[in-house]
Structure 1
Amino acid sequence: MMLRNSADRWGPVSQLLHWVIVLLILGLGVLGLVMVELPRSPRWFWVYDLHKSFGLTLLALVVVRLLWRVFAGAPRPVPGTPRLQERAATVTHVLLYVLTFAVPVSGWLYDSLSGLRPLRWFGQFKVPKLAEPSQALAPVMRDSHEWLFWALIALVAVHAAAAFYHHLFQHDATLTRMLPRRRGAASPDPSPLPEIR
């Protein structure tokens, strides 16, 4: 089985990373919105630690995905895609990577600046602080974390809408090449593509 990306579709590793990251973003968003409404209690700290641990997991997976993309390349644009759409897709992907990286980093910085007790990643090991506590900067970073998250959600919505537009109205492979191949489907071009567009 070809693990790397081919000229016409994303490989299984890229697909797995893509969908796990999507689920983490949505799950972290729901958890983040719920936890701010919880009363201060032992459960409050447990939910916050869970949110932070999953956030750091998201950060690690984004780094892995970027490294994998460098190694495995990316499929060529779907045939017939206008140049303007290609450029818009490239800009969108770059912004998605930047925001998916920036949101957990800003949360990590907020945790560091707030001076809360040290986090243990899923209770396993202590996570280092990125900065000294600061009562002046902590609220700024908290607000930055929130706004970066909403920007990411908006961009994810645009990205998903574009994929469904291509699938439902353009009838091309933009969406399906990020989905597992159905059994028995032919593979027109299994050759890997090492370069990044």
Structure 2
Amino acid sequence: MIKNTRLGYGAVAILFHWTMALLIIGMLGLGLYMVRLPQSDPNAFALFQLHKSIGFVVLTLAVLRLAWRLVNPSPKLPADMPVWEKGVAHLGHTGLYAMMFLLPLSGWLVVSASPWGIPTIVFNLFEMPHLPVPGDKGQAEVFASAVHEYGAYFLILLIAGHVAAAFKHHFIARDETLKRMVSVRTSHAA
């Protein structure tokens, strides 16, 4: 099934989830690697261009994913889940969605505000225009860089919490929460 049901996720939501999970984890790893490279490294420019290109893919998928979620609501959390835990789950998901937008946008702002004016050539296919940056570009770059860096660390914490919660549901609560994000069969069991 393509759409979500009240019991589980459909194929589109599952595909969005795992595609974005792989891209985002890859981006975090690449970002942590890149910032430790000396600027003189011959691979640095290509890696930064790849990071920016994938960032635009993540931003595009985040928009599509949010649109899908708005017209195709998520299944309900387990009924026996405590209210506080449901609140934490909603906060965690809100944080993940916020970071899916904030990190690519702050990265785009970093590039746009940079005094070097280096273009972003998305997968060597087309140039992505810079955002209009009013005022002091230097301050905007510093602010956007801080948001991008600390946002990435915050996203790592959110992902760790998300994975821990999924394992808790699977191994301790023994409910269908993780299974329904892995297979559409769970969403149509009843």
Could you tell me the TM-score, scaled by structure 1's length? Answer: 0.88
**In the TM superposition, what is the alpha-carbon distance from 1:180 to its structure 2 partner?**
1.8
Partner of 2:147: 144
**In the TM superposition, what is the alpha-carbon distance from 1:121 to its structure 2 partner?**
0.9
Q: Which runs of 5+ in 2 are unaligned?
A: none
Q: How does 1:118-129 map to 2 (within 5 A)?
A: 118-129=119-130
**Root mean square deviation of aligned Cα:** 1.7
Partner of 1:65: 65
Instruction: Give the Cα separation in 2 of the matches to 1:61 and 1:77.
Output: 24
Partner of 1:4: 3
* Contact 1:8-1:78 at 8 Å conserved across structures: no
Question: Residues 116-151 of structure 1, C-alpha deviation per residue, up to 9 Å, x if partnerless?
Answer: 321111111110111348223212211210001111
* Contact 2:112-2:130 at 8 Å conserved across structures: yes
Could you tell me the TM-score, scaled by structure 2's length? Answer: 0.91
Secondary structure of the structure 2 residue equivalent to 1:135: helix
Instruction: Give the Cα separation in 1 of the matches to 2:85 and 2:125.
Output: 45
Count of residue pairs the alignment pairs up: 186
Secondary structure of the structure 2 residue equivalent to 1:172: coil
Partner of 1:194: none
Q: 1:164 aligned to 2:167?
A: yes
- 1:84/1:120 Cα in 2 relative to 1: closer, same or farther (>3 Å)? same
Q: How does 1:62-141 map to 2 (within 5 A)?
A: 62-115=62-115, 116-132=117-133, 134-141=137-144
* Contact 2:7-2:187 at 8 Å conserved across structures: no
Partner of 2:158: 155
Q: 1:18 aligned to 2:17?
A: yes
Instruction: Give the Cα separation in 1 of the matches to 2:187 and 2:143.
Output: 52
Instruction: Give the Cα separation in 2 of the matches to 1:77 and 1:135.
Output: 45
- 1:24/1:142 Cα in 2 relative to 1: closer, same or farther (>3 Å)? same
Structure 1 stretches of at least 4 aligned residues deviating more than 6 Å after TM superposition: none
Partner of 1:44: 44
Moved more, 75-84 or 106-115: 75-84
Partner of 1:32: 31
Q: Which runs of 5+ in 1 are unaligned?
A: 190-197
Which residue identity does 1:10 align to in structure 2? Y
- 1:186/1:98 Cα in 2 relative to 1: closer, same or farther (>3 Å)? closer
Which residue identity does 2:171 align to in structure 1? L
Question: Residues 23-68 of structure 1, C-alpha deviation per residue, up to 9 Å, x if partnerless?
Answer: 1111011111111232325521111000000011101111111001
- 1:138/1:87 Cα in 2 relative to 1: closer, same or farther (>3 Å)? same
Question: Residues 133-170 of structure 1, C-alpha deviation per residue, up to 9 Å, x if partnerless?
Answer: 82232122112100011111101111110110111110
Partner of 1:174: 177
Secondary structure of the structure 2 residue equivalent to 1:59: helix
Instruction: Give the Cα separation in 1 of the matches to 2:154 and 2:175.
Output: 28
* Contact 2:9-2:187 at 8 Å conserved across structures: no
Instruction: Give the Cα separation in 2 of the matches to 1:44 and 1:3.
Output: 40
